[in-house]
Structure 1
Amino acid sequence: MADGGYEKEVQVMKSKLLKQDIMKAIHDLSQFGQDECGGLTRLLYDEHWVAAQRHLKMSMEEAGLNVHFDAVGNLYGSAKGSRYQDQTILIGSHIDTVKNGGIYDGQYGIIAGLLATAHLKKHFGDPVRNIEVVSICEEEGSRFPYVFWGAKNVLGLGGKEEVLNIDDESGISFVKAMQGAGFDFCDEKTPPRTDIKAFLELHVEQGCVLEKQKKSLGIVEGIVGQRRFTVELTGESNHAGTTPMSYRKDAVHAAAEMISKILQRCREHGDPLVTTVGRIDVKPNVVNVVPGQVEFTIDTRHPDRKVLEDMTKDIREIISTVAVCFDVDYCLDMWMDENPVPMDNALTKIIETECIRNGVDYMKMYSGAGHDAQLMAQHVPTALIFVPSHRGISHSPHEHTDGEDLAMGVETLIATLYELAYKDEVKGIQVTA
């Protein structure tokens, strides 16, 4: 279809893509995994996960897509391209949830991809290159101590040896759960896919920035890097009444001083640097004993690697200085060091152009949480789109996004997919034959 026809179609898109269709699809999918606490618990390879994937398979088939599972349980529905069948625009998100999670995290991105693809096929026919919707089997790490199993296998990176000896909290092994759901490891001799030319993920923000800024859409420029630490302090336990303050080796007092200084250093630097002390364990944890041991965690995130390195230097300096001052020993273990991951500039520019063309009130932003796009972006051109989360609540039954915002996200996805999958050439993206 000529661009002029497309322009006309865009103007009436909102009347054709009703938010009720999105809400109904989310409601129907959310039947699989509803828990007694009012949330959604759908864990990798459990019975609710299996039922949800089967439901999506049926929905994809009803939309006229070619549907198949891969070996590990990622579900794909594709609209075959009329010209470039060796080129695929992949869209989707993850089907698993956290325990007692919300109904938008993950599954909204799958539903959005399905509705967008069905809309394009109905109004424009077959794309020139493949559009493939993927329901990624796992991202959250909620059942097993392992994350991105789904995306890794999409990319041909799933390491069999990494999951052979891990169990869930009930003692069920990863392999037994996978095989019980009807899946198994991918054939290691199968070469990685080379047809994926772009990956798009539409997701609820899981933060309050868009709502606070009164924006309908966020175009993510990058996913922040993360460093996580465990700090162990060893002082001396002693009597709370008979040990003068000047003679104490109080591990809690030292920890409090460290935490205060570290968080203050972060506040002085300003956004988007964030630092969190999320867990503190005290021993002996008795009301009338000076605590001799403390263990606490530090999580710090920023989209610039250099800032993370500087913050790490500050953390080390503060802990060392305070430990000497309070006469306590310390051990600092940095057990996570994830680099920031930028999204593809050409893809984000296409999305921005479509937002401007269609009057979408958007902003550019960074993601403070990890997503499938984080892994995909390290291997294929990737873009991540956010819609607002009410009060920033996520991983909770109280997670909520307004239907108008959900629809705006899908409409933007439709416009972007048209540019990527219905045109012979796409500026900045290597998709031509």
Structure 2
Amino acid sequence: MNISTNEISEIMNWISSYGLLETGGITRLLYSQEWMDVQNGLKEKFESIGMKANFDEIGNLIGHLSGSENSEETIATGSHIDTVVNGGKLDGQLGIFGGFLAVKHLLETYGQPKKNIEIISMAEEEGSRFPYVFWGSKNLLGLANKEDVLNITDQDGIKFVDAMHKHGFDFKSDNKSSLSHVKAFVELHIEQGNALEMEEKSVGIITDIVGQRRYNITLKGEANHAGTTLMEYRKDVIQVFANIVTESINKAKEKGNPLVLTFGKINVKPNTVNVVPGFAEFTMDCRHTDGSFLKEFTTEIEEDMKRIAKDANVEIEIDRWMDEEPVPMDKNVISMIEEACKAKGLNYKLMHSGAGHDSQIIAPHIKTGMIFVPSVKGISHNPKEFTELEDLKQGIEALAAAIYKLAY
């Protein structure tokens, strides 16, 4: 089996032409015309190699290839087809065009598989158009809640329901899983970080997807004159914010990898040079592969924040609005992928994922594995998102070898 870099480049540029911007980036949002066009284009691609391709009720595209011996068992691969605004050429869609090339070359080399194979182009993962994420994978598993999207709109005021109906799609008629026949799922994705590049590895085999806790935190002090208010009488929210960030980041560094802690956004009022700030809102994002450790660490940080605010006579409100448990990949699937990489002589490492993916929705229900390829400089969600063609080739070959072990 020989997947050429020319073939990879050709199909990557083809799929990237749907929603391509003058910036070189791609904007392909859920239920947009570009989204519909690429799904129809993929349907033709799937059918061109002998797959039966159909949309489900909400717009997930599923290409199905029947096996010769066991029609009850299916091995699936795929990812999401939507992008962020002005995104790159790999996030999401690599798992689809890479899956297509892997299956195409398996068929050309070995013929019909014993088990069924499916490639799934999932409708949505990013939440870039509407305030809802994982619409595709959640619907595949019967986990999506209709009420969550009934009244939401995009930034232009277009209702989610109207955008969906425009292309002939509708809500699922029941909450049953459409993947009950799937025995294993493997997703190929770019790393969106720089660990593989820094360690000069071409393939990452994912052991876990990190758990996440995200916060909105509000500080209420007292705005006052910057020149006449003595330091000891101030209720300065920026002083509190600075102390929280410094103490928290230092603790995170002491704990070490794979813990990561980020203070990513702050809004200060009145936000002017000559007034002691009296109000601030900021965010905190904390991630780790161990759920118990994540809860213990963030609980400690929450108590620290309360103490720091109290010492400064500043009010604090802590809203933990996301609390996602870590998701382990299936040990047997991990072993199969690793065996396949060894047999192919691929340059790989075992690692965790610091970002969320469709696989985290699927893994609690179906045996799941993930394969990463490097992101140059760790850049993603950006037109500069890039992976060397030779690394893409190794990732697709790893996926093909894994599918071969699972389906042949």
What's the TM-score bracket when you normalise by the shorter of the two chains? over 0.9
**Kept in 1: contact 2:141–2:177 (CA 8 A):** no
The aligned amino acid for 2:393 is A
SS in 2 for 1:28: helix
Within the candidate set 157, 182, 191, 1:171 is matched to 157
TM-score computed with the length of structure 1 as normaliser: 0.93
The alpha carbon displacement at 1:214 in A equals: 0.6
What is the distance in 1 between the residues matched to 2:272 and 2:232?
20
Which whole-Å deviations, capped at 9, do the CAs of 1:365-393 have from their partners, x for residues lacking one? 01000000010001100000000000000
**Kept in 2: contact 1:71–1:185 (CA 8 A):** yes
SS in 2 for 1:151: helix
Q: Does 1:37 align with 2:23?
A: yes
The aligned amino acid for 1:276 is T
The alpha carbon displacement at 1:190 in A equals: 5.6
The total of aligned residue pairs comes to 408
The aligned amino acid for 2:242 is A
The alpha carbon displacement at 1:157 in A equals: 2.2
Matches within 5 A, 1:27-426: 27-188=13-174, 192-422=178-408
Give the 3 Å change call, closer, same or farther, for CA 259–191 of structure 1 in structure 2. Answer: closer
SS in 2 for 1:333: strand
The alpha carbon displacement at 1:339 in A equals: 0.1
Give the 3 Å change call, closer, same or farther, for CA 189–364 of structure 1 in structure 2. Answer: closer
The alpha carbon displacement at 1:62 in A equals: 1.2
What is the distance in 2 between the residues matched to 1:189 and 1:254?
47
The aligned amino acid for 1:48 is E
The alpha carbon displacement at 1:36 in A equals: 3.4
SS in 1 for 2:99: helix
CA RMSD of aligned residues (A): 1.1
The aligned amino acid for 1:293 is F
Match of 1:8 in 2: none
Match of 1:427 in 2: none
The alpha carbon displacement at 1:189 in A equals: 7.0
Match of 1:7 in 2: none
The alpha carbon displacement at 1:193 in A equals: 3.7
What is the distance in 1 between the residues matched to 2:156 and 2:317?
32
The alpha carbon displacement at 1:173 in A equals: 0.6
What runs of 5+ residues in structure 2 fail to find an aligned partner? none
**Kept in 1: contact 2:340–2:405 (CA 8 A):** no
What is the distance in 2 between the residues matched to 1:215 and 1:235?
49
Structure 1 stretches of 4+ with a deviation exceeding 3 A read: 189-193
Which whole-Å deviations, capped at 9, do the CAs of 1:385-411 have from their partners, x for residues lacking one? 000000000000000000001010111
SS in 2 for 1:44: coil
SS in 1 for 2:248: helix
The alpha carbon displacement at 1:63 in A equals: 1.5
What is the distance in 1 between the residues matched to 2:168 and 2:23?
29
**Kept in 2: contact 1:156–1:193 (CA 8 A):** no
What is the distance in 2 between the residues matched to 1:36 and 1:346?
44
SS in 1 for 2:147: helix
The aligned amino acid for 2:366 is V
What is the distance in 1 between the residues matched to 2:383 and 2:48?
29
What runs of 5+ residues in structure 1 fail to find an aligned partner? 1-12, 423-433
The aligned amino acid for 1:398 is K
What is the distance in 2 between the residues matched to 1:37 and 1:124?
41
- More displaced 10-residue stretch of structure 1: 402-411 or 179-188: 179-188
The aligned amino acid for 2:47 is E
**Kept in 1: contact 2:143–2:175 (CA 8 A):** no
SS in 2 for 1:260: helix
SS in 2 for 1:133: strand
SS in 2 for 1:39: coil
- More displaced 10-residue stretch of structure 1: 72-81 or 311-320: 311-320
What is the distance in 2 between the residues matched to 1:201 and 1:227?
24
**Kept in 1: contact 2:142–2:175 (CA 8 A):** no
Give the 3 Å change call, closer, same or farther, for CA 417–189 of structure 1 in structure 2. Answer: closer
Which whole-Å deviations, capped at 9, do the CAs of 1:230-251 have from their partners, x for residues lacking one? 1111111100000011111111
Give the 3 Å change call, closer, same or farther, for CA 361–193 of structure 1 in structure 2. Answer: closer
What is the distance in 2 between the residues matched to 1:387 and 1:193?
26
TM-score computed with the length of structure 2 as normaliser: 0.98
- More displaced 10-residue stretch of structure 1: 408-417 or 200-209: 408-417
Match of 2:6 in 1: 20
SS in 2 for 1:331: strand
Match of 1:4 in 2: none
Give the 3 Å change call, closer, same or farther, for CA 124–162 of structure 1 in structure 2. Answer: same
Give the 3 Å change call, closer, same or farther, for CA 171–94 of structure 1 in structure 2. Answer: same
What is the distance in 2 between the residues matched to 1:190 and 1:397?
38
SS in 1 for 2:138: helix
Give the 3 Å change call, closer, same or farther, for CA 191–267 of structure 1 in structure 2. Answer: closer
What is the distance in 2 between the residues matched to 1:241 and 1:189?
62
What is the distance in 1 between the residues matched to 2:22 and 2:254?
43
Match of 1:428 in 2: none
